[in-house]
Amino acid sequence: MADGADGMGRGVGVFLTACVCGIASGLFGIGGGVLLVPLLGLLFSFSQHRAQGTSLVALIPPTGVLALLAYARHGFVSWKTGLLLIPGVFLGGIVGGRLAEKLEPQRMRQVFAGILFALGTWQAFSAWWR
Amino acid sequence: MTSIILLLGLGVGVLVGLLGIGGGVALVPAMVYLLGMDQHLAQGTSLFILLPPVGVGALREYWKQGQVDLQAGILCAVGILFGALGGSLVALPLPSRHLQGLFGCFLMLSAILLWRKAQPESKTSGDGGRAYG
């Protein structure tokens, strides 16, 4: 449904959106999917599942490698903790992917959005009003 | 401590598959608060975790369902690659305290976007039907 037609213009739009997600990725040390998924849905009318699957494609290549090198040059990488976290994230991802097919993703996303909002408020508060 | 870290990874992984995200957005605050890391260190470590394709197992499940736009995904990957370099150049000189505050604001913004998308998908454009839940 979202294929073909004005493919070129849409491609440019998707690319520019991804650049914005990339800036957030380097700025905050994240993958960028948390921004990419809602934006693909809101701006390019991807269905929720399709947006999530497409976001996972964008996260397969080591997109953060240039940013990682910049952080590593400043000594801002805990290699050991990272290595311990990687297997869990991979295995958990398979479990989550299976769950996503069965669950109504709406409620899950709302719960996650609520947690994110609370976390964000906490972080901003503890940084600036301590 | 090691078992806490392993479990944390597993928990974040479930979110990766469930929401189609990289997981960094949950990893960074978890490392700051649970493991007591500095904001910059947590962000750099998160980028390291995202280096191997941790989402490939989850992607396989989506692929089987035909829920993948390969072309758009590749475009996004290229955009994120260079965007991330730009973002890191902004983040590194910032004091950790301000970076943490900004991260908090970013989380709030992402939460709002995710919530909006969580509305029932309807054909009406704009935010016509505000039927939450």
Mean pLDDT of the B27-52 span: 90
As a whole number of angstroms, the distance between CA A100 and CA A94 comes to 10
8 A C-beta contact, residue B89 and residue A26? yes
Optimal mutation site among A6, A10, A12, A30, interface B, most CBs of chain B within 10 A: A30
**In 10 A of CB B11, how many CB atoms?**
17
Give pLDDT, residue A54: 92
Tokens of B85: 């370099």
Please indicate, yes or no, whether the overall pTM of this predicted structure exceeds 0.90.
no
Give the range of the structural domain holding residue B111, as residue numbers without chain letter. Answer: 11-43+86-117
Which of A26, A30, A57 faces B74 most closely, judged by CB atoms?
A57
Distances (CA, A) of B4 to A14, A88, B40: 38, 11, 21
- Percent above pLDDT 70 for chain B: 87
Q: Give the gyration radius of chain B's Cα atoms.
A: 17
A37 neighbourhood in chain B, CB within 8 Å: 19-21, 114, 117
Please, where are the H alpha helices in A59-104?
A: 65-73, 79-102
For residue A34, pLDDT beyond 50: yes
Boundaries of every domain in chain A: 1-76, 78-130
Output b/e per residue, A37-72; b: 16+ Cβ within 10 A: bbbbbeebebebbbbbbbbbbbbbbebbbbbbebbe
Give the tens place of pLDDT for each residue, B58-97: 899 889 989 899 988 988 888 888 889 889 999 999 998 8
Three-state secondary structure string covering B6-33 = HHHHHHHHHHHHHHCCCCHHHHHHHHHH
B20 neighbourhood in chain A, CB within 8 Å: 33, 37, 51-56, 100
Distances (CA, A) of B38 to A66, B42, B108: 21, 6, 20
**Closest residue, chain A, to B107 (C-alpha):** A120
Give pLDDT, residue B118: 55
The residue to which tokens 């370099």 are assigned: B85
What is the ipTM for the molecules in this complex?
Answer: 0.84
* Burial (0-12, 13-18, 19+ Cβ within 10 Å), A15: middle
Give pLDDT, residue A5: 47
Mean pLDDT of the A78-86 span: 91
To the nearest whole angstrom, how far is the Cα of A74 from the nearest Cα of chain B?
A: 8
Domain contains B64:
no
8 A C-beta contact, residue B44 and residue A29? yes
As a whole number of angstroms, the distance between CA B16 and CA A96 comes to 7
Total count of domains within chain B: 1
Contact B47 A77 (CB under 8 A): yes
